[in-house]
Amino acid sequence: MQLLPTPTILDQGVIAGAEAAHHLASVLRSQWSAFWNRSPEVILSELNADPSRSATIFGLNGQAAAAVNALLDALDDSRFPTRAPNSMPEGWSFGVSGFSYTAPEPPAEILP
């Protein structure tokens, strides 16, 4: 008597794809953190050295993040919880003059 079902080739493919998607989301998340967890001056210098190239990279990373997140969301499997960030952190923007940073306002103190 078989207690555990034998996964089909299709099931194995779905799991392999989910593992790959989850890995991609993890890599995108870790590189996003590595990039943005530096001083704003260093980041601005790097981004504005070639704003067109930087915007293209962000656009492609955003597309990859949106696709991999949609796939993981559709699978709805708690074994694959990581999602890729698909936007710049708060305070960052891209406009006609390139990238800019405005430090977010600190949260207001709640008085008793």
Distance from CA of residue 17 to its chain's centroid? 18
The pLDDT, as a whole number, for residue 69 is 98
Confidence class for position 43, pLDDT limits 50, 70, 90: very high
pLDDT of residue 104: 86
C-beta separation of 84 from 29 below 8 A: yes
Give pLDDT tens digits for 8-38.
999 999 999 999 999 999 999 999 999 999 9
83-106 tens-digit pLDDT: 999 999 999 999 989 999 999 888
pLDDT at 70: 98
How many residues does this entry show for the chain? 112
What is residue 94's three-state secondary structure?
strand
* Per-residue tokens: 71: 């796939």
Query: Is the pLDDT score of 2 beyond 90?
Result: no
Residue-wise pLDDT tens digits, 49-89: 999 999 999 999 999 999 999 999 999 999 999 999 999 99
